[in-house]
Copies of this chain bind each other. A is one copy, B any other.
């Protein structure tokens, strides 16, 4: 028996017969057989384990051994750790992929046109929408869970692995035809509190290890010391505090990039000075947000994904740190997602163009290297959407004439904060006067584009083939852009 702490209290669970439910199986192969996996089916996974995930590779290897072909792979996202999927694409086990992100060798393989069918990129809200709308029918969901009981009450708080929120997995568990949990910590019944509920679970597979803790939560989040990023963060914080939405009970989301994270630090200093407290912080949760919660500067956290060890631990310690599903987070077609209540969102960009379109997906060489994530969801929803980005990175301009790939359309973006000035979307003329009054360095977007060119020079255009390797689906299901094979 394993002792657990829930909200600081020591909980002693009780022994039950692990197979009382009939759901517990000893390996993935048994689950594949019981689920009757067939050629052409759609199978889903989640990415809460990030670069520490063992499960996608383990399941796909087992499927390959069984000789199953033409599967549609529908994870919430993919990482570098999933490089081994290349072999399964080559051998025809996987014929179609839908994902939010793609990185590393697998991303290069796909960017090079090695799949006959283009992959589909979706935002987190868009994925939940597609599932709930029935556009994607998941035949079998294979969901890695750090702890579960024999009936399938599962949580992100295991004895071997911890991932905090299981927000993406919750959606799959509710809508997949069959749900297979994969764990390395089968605990006594009942496992409470739980993220995934037993009445949605068909099977529980118990393995020795489902993930690498190092890769799942990458230790403590450290603040950037990059002076450029700090300057951008400070300016972004001033944008927030200069607008009328900044008042007791305001809400915000920040990304997990360096400048984004640093915004919270500057913001907090100002909140202390002004005696202002926030109602909620949303999204991927990081240590700076947990600090705000624990110090009383934000009333509650809504967590679709816990990014670091602090946020993972906080979800089980702090009453007011709430797990939410990806649909609750950002699905544009339910009856009101939490993103729709955001006052501010601070987001990063690989590229932003003169029309404020943002690219967070493809690199300057045209290769897929990022993730759509909740970018377009929160940008469309928040009252004020702020992009924090340096004018250029190394020898590459960030502020450009035209982004390589549109993930978030320009009309969702209100403000761009760079180290060389703040550009305001002409659609938000209401903000111009306010920010100028606040003595913030407001400049025109075309000036930033020109400034970047003057420093970096005119970029070499990327050469693409005609072949489409990826379609980018906007949160509402429309195709907003395509990514072509690089030459």
Query: Which residues from chain A sit less than 8 Å from chain B, CB to CB?
Result: 6-7, 9, 11-16, 20-21, 23, 151-152, 179, 188-190, 192-193, 197-202, 248-249, 277-280, 299-300, 302, 319-320, 322, 327-328, 331, 334-338, 341
When C-beta atoms are compared, the residue in chain B nearest to A331 turns out to be: B199
Given A6-B319, A188-B279, decide whether A335 and B179 contact each other with a Cβ distance below 8 A. Answer: yes
Measured CB to CB, the closest approach of chain B to A369, in angstroms, equals 32
Contacts of A249 in B (CB 8 A): 13-16, 188
Contacts of A331 in B (CB 8 A): 199
Asked if A336 contacts B11 (CB within 8 A), the reply is no
Contacts of A201 in B (CB 8 A): 335-336
Measured CB to CB, the closest approach of chain B to A285, in angstroms, equals 15
Asked if B341 contacts A20 (CB within 8 A), the reply is yes
**Which applies to chain A's interface (DSSP): helix, strand, loop or mixed?**
loop
Report Cα–Cα, A320/B11, bound state, in Å.
9
Contacts of A341 in B (CB 8 A): 16, 20-21, 151, 189-190
Given A13-B279, A14-B248, A280-B190, decide whether A198 and B336 contact each other with a Cβ distance below 8 A. Answer: yes
Given A300-B192, A322-B193, decide whether A198 and B279 contact each other with a Cβ distance below 8 A. Answer: no
Asked if A199 contacts B336 (CB within 8 A), the reply is yes
Contacts of A193 in B (CB 8 A): 322
Report Cα–Cα, A322/B155, bound state, in Å.
15
When C-beta atoms are compared, the residue in chain B nearest to A343 turns out to be: B16
Contacts of A6 in B (CB 8 A): 319-320
Report Cα–Cα, A152/B280, bound state, in Å.
16
Contact of A277 among B14, B23, B300 (CB under 8 A): B14
Measured CB to CB, the closest approach of chain B to A11, in angstroms, equals 7
Measured CB to CB, the closest approach of chain B to A291, in angstroms, equals 18
When C-beta atoms are compared, the residue in chain B nearest to A8 turns out to be: B319
13 A-B residue pairings within 8 Å (CB atoms):
A6-B320, A11-B299, A14-B248, A14-B278, A16-B249, A16-B279, A21-B341, A23-B336, A152-B335, A198-B335, A198-B338, A199-B335, A201-B335
Report Cα–Cα, A193/B318, bound state, in Å.
12
Contacts of A179 in B (CB 8 A): 335
Asked if A190 contacts B279 (CB within 8 A), the reply is yes
Asked if A200 contacts B334 (CB within 8 A), the reply is yes
Report Cα–Cα, A16/B199, bound state, in Å.
36
When C-beta atoms are compared, the residue in chain B nearest to A17 turns out to be: B249
Asked if A334 contacts B199 (CB within 8 A), the reply is yes
Measured CB to CB, the closest approach of chain B to A339, in angstroms, equals 11
